[in-house]
């Protein structure tokens, strides 16, 4: 399949990451996973998240970066504090966002999920503009992948509870789900 055939959403900044591969079945997408990320931890803005997803993170720029610079990860979408959106991986391709994971007894959630990263932390309220962007993206994604029902929209902590806590207690699930 040519790159032109892949699912890139309109109206967002496209920043293709090398950290993806083909899904076992590109039509088997039925899970949406919400994450949070900030680099350095607790700091917002800048280009560190983008650099991380593009394998360009400078390990000497911050002590924390030396621990993660060699990791190869990505998400399909990233929503900044101001609500602006970047897409790093086509939706029909497998982004490397979930790691060791399990949903309803099914392992390897990257195979069948779409990952959205919110710029934030577990203990910081998310911005209204992020909720607006997330709701809009979720509606677009669900039109493309109708198997993603409300019950199949989860946090990273739901699919990797021993490893992950995001999007964290400051993420307002009732607000987000009501907006859908």
Q: Which residues are catalytic?
A: 117
Q: What residues contact residue 15 under an 8 Å CB cut-off, 6+ apart? A: 50, 53, 54, 86, 87, 88
SS (HEC) of 24-70: CCCCCCCEEEEEEECCCCCCCCCCHHHHHHCCCCCCCCCHHHHHHCC
The first and second tokens of residue 8, run together, are 């890139």
Separation of alpha carbons 90 and 39, rounded Å:
23
Please state the φ and ψ torsions of residue 114, each to the nearest 5 degrees: -115, 135
Which pair of tokens denotes residue 180? 């859908």
CA separation for the pair 2, 59 (Å, rounded): 34
Residue in the block written with tokens 């932390």: 121
């Amino acid at each position: 399949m040519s790159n032109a055939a892949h699912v890139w959403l309109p109206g967002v900044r496209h920043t293709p990451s090398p950290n993806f591969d083909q899904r076992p079945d590109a039509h088997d997408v039925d899970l949406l996973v919400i994450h949070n990320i900030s680099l350095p931890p607790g700091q917002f803005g800048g280009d560190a998240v983008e650099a991380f997803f593009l394998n360009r993170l400078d390990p000497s720029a911050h002590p924390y970066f030396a621990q993660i610079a060699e990791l190869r990860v990505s998400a399909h979408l990233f929503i900044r504090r101001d609500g602006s959106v970047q897409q790093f991986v086509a939706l029909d391709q497998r982004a490397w966002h979930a790691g060791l994971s399990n949903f309803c007894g099914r392992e390897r959630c990257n195979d069948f999920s779409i990952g959205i990263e919110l710029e934030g932390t577990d203990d910081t309220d998310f911005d209204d503009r992020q909720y607006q962007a997330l709701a809009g993206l979720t509606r677009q994604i669900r039109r493309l992948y109708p198997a993603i029902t409300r019950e199949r929209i989860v946090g990273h902590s739901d699919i990797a509870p021993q490893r992950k806590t995001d999007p964290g207690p400051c993420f307002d699930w009732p607000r987000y789900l009501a907006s859908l």
